[in-house]
Amino acid sequence: MKRYGDFITTEEDQLLLTTIRKYVDKEVMPIRMQMDEDHAVFEKAYEGLVKLGIQKRGFSKRYGGLEIRSAATICAISEEIARGDSGLSLHALIIPWCFAAAMGGRNTVVMDKFIPMFCDDTPRCGCLAITEPAGGCNIEDGAEHGLTIRTRAKLEGDEWVINGEKMWPSGASIADLYCVICTTDPSQKEEGLALIYVPKDTPGLSFGKPEDKMGMKVTDVNAAIYFDNVRVPKEYRAGGPGVDWKLFRTNVSWGRLTSAPMAIGNAQAVLEIVTEYTGTRSYGGKPVRNHSLQAALIADMAIGIESARMFYLSVAAMFNNRKKFGSPGDDYLLARASAAKAHACDVTEMVCNRAMDLMGSYGYVRDYHVEKYLRDSKIIQLWLGGNHLARLDVAQSYYPYAD
């Protein structure tokens, strides 16, 4: 896989990536536009990925997982799937993201009970419920110290009782397991933040109508989640006071890092579309792409994609070396992951715009698919706090912008 340079280090990982790319080319590309509207089409595409082992990639072999530990490989897998459909890529990635806090907190109760069901060949879904109606991306903002969280968890005997509401979480209403960011006491700031697991069908758990979005409507279901005296065992908290805050910041960092390859997967697909299109259209006796003006535009697209890919892969390599670079949730790596996401999304936006410039009216018709990638990539740019909060986190690693 030349695209990823020397960052993919094992033959096994390279073989998996090649298999995924072939699957995406054969099974996903011909139906990528249908996945916007048809749930059955999406289910079939995801089922094929499950059979390839994607659903269990992040779990220990003890549970039947593939135990892929390389952050670079995880990112490359996300890019390869997103080249076909970023919602499909996200759906697969949400599962290990949902379990990350339990695994990071060494919560064997949660891991032993729930991970095995995600390591079989039945398609599943997870959900990490962060955002709330009143606060927007405030919860992801470390400068807020968890003060804006309104979903409350109260310990009564051996159970957590959860009340509140979440908005926009991926997998809402269809997930098998929910990791809920809540607070035991907002006045305690970081110490009060809690990550608590809630299985589907738990009494008191209900959902709003799925949001009608401009992209990823079927592959990434967003809806309100309501918690009305939801009770779960106290052992379902990921870690404990202070620990959960660190686990959450690590989740945000991983989320931003893996968003970068999803965006670049979109950009790579658009580059392939526009390169083919400009090779089959001609003026002045030669293909459009062989004229210097258009060639320069395509070159800028390729340069942006290559630079953004190498950026996220270099950050992924840092994630693999915690002895030298620290935890992904610390300011240093969180900033690098945030920068990788912001840059990748900016590049993808530029690539989509340039493609439309080169293709004219054909750029915005559904038949050529560029408009799909433009819609999907804008959603990627906005989630997890958007590019503006990402840039604040980058600044935070150089100097404090808030007390």
DSSP 122-160: S---EEEE--BTTTBGGGG-GGGTTTT---EEEEETTEE
Sequence-distant (6+) residues with CB within 8 A of 175 are 94, 98, 125, 126, 127, 200
CA-based angle 194:198:202, to the nearest 5?
140
Whole-number pLDDT of residue 401: 66
Q: Find how far residue 34's CA is from the centre of its chain.
A: 21
Q: Which two tokens stand for residue 164?
A: 């509140």
Given the structure tokens 């339990």, which residue do they identify?
102
Q: Which two tokens stand for residue 308?
A: 């953004």
Q: Which two tokens stand for residue 110?
A: 């949660």
Q: Which two tokens stand for residue 180?
A: 């809920």
Strand bridging mode 177-183 / 126-129: parallel
Contact between 266 and 348 under an 8 Å Cβ cutoff? The reply is yes
CA-CA-CA-CA dihedral for 164, 167, 171, 173, to nearest 10: 60
Whole-number pLDDT of residue 81: 98
165, exposed or middle or buried, with CB in 10 Å at 0-12, 13-18, 19+? middle
3-state SS class at 11? helix
3-state SS class at 73? helix
Q: Find how far residue 285's CA is from the centre of its chain.
A: 45
Q: Which two tokens stand for residue 74?
A: 């995880």
Beta bridge partners, 178, equal 127, 198
Whole-number pLDDT of residue 34: 94
Whole-number pLDDT of residue 196: 98
Tell me how far apart the alpha carbons of residues 36 and 219 are, in angstroms, rounded to a whole number: 7
Q: Which helix (H) or strand (E) holds 308?
A: helix 292-319
Tell me how far apart the alpha carbons of residues 287 and 283 are, in angstroms, rounded to a whole number: 6
Strand bridging mode 152-156 / 159-166: antiparallel
Q: Which two tokens stand for residue 182?
A: 């809540």
Tell me how far apart the alpha carbons of residues 268 and 307 are, in angstroms, rounded to a whole number: 12
Tell me how far apart the alpha carbons of residues 247 and 60 are, in angstroms, rounded to a whole number: 19
Whole-number pLDDT of residue 281: 92
Sequence-distant (6+) residues with CB within 8 A of 256 are 334, 337, 338, 340, 341, 384, 390
Contact between 160 and 238 under an 8 Å Cβ cutoff? The reply is no
Tell me how far apart the alpha carbons of residues 248 and 11 are, in angstroms, rounded to a whole number: 33
Whole-number pLDDT of residue 402: 58
Given the structure tokens 């072939």, which residue do they identify?
22
Q: Which two tokens stand for residue 3?
A: 């695209």
Mean pLDDT per 10-residue segment, the chain (403 residues) = 88 95 97 92 97 95 94 97 97 95 97 96 96 87 90 98 96 97 95 98 97 93 97 97 97 98 98 96 93 96 98 98 96 97 98 96 94 96 93 88 59
| Domains defined for the chain, CATH in brackets | 2-118 (1.10.540.10), 126-239 (2.40.110.10), 244-396 (1.20.140.10)
N-terminal to C-terminal alpha carbon distance within the chain: 45
DSSP 65-95: ------HHHHHHHHHHHHTT-HHHHHHHHHH
Torsional sign, CA 181, 389, 254, 51? positive
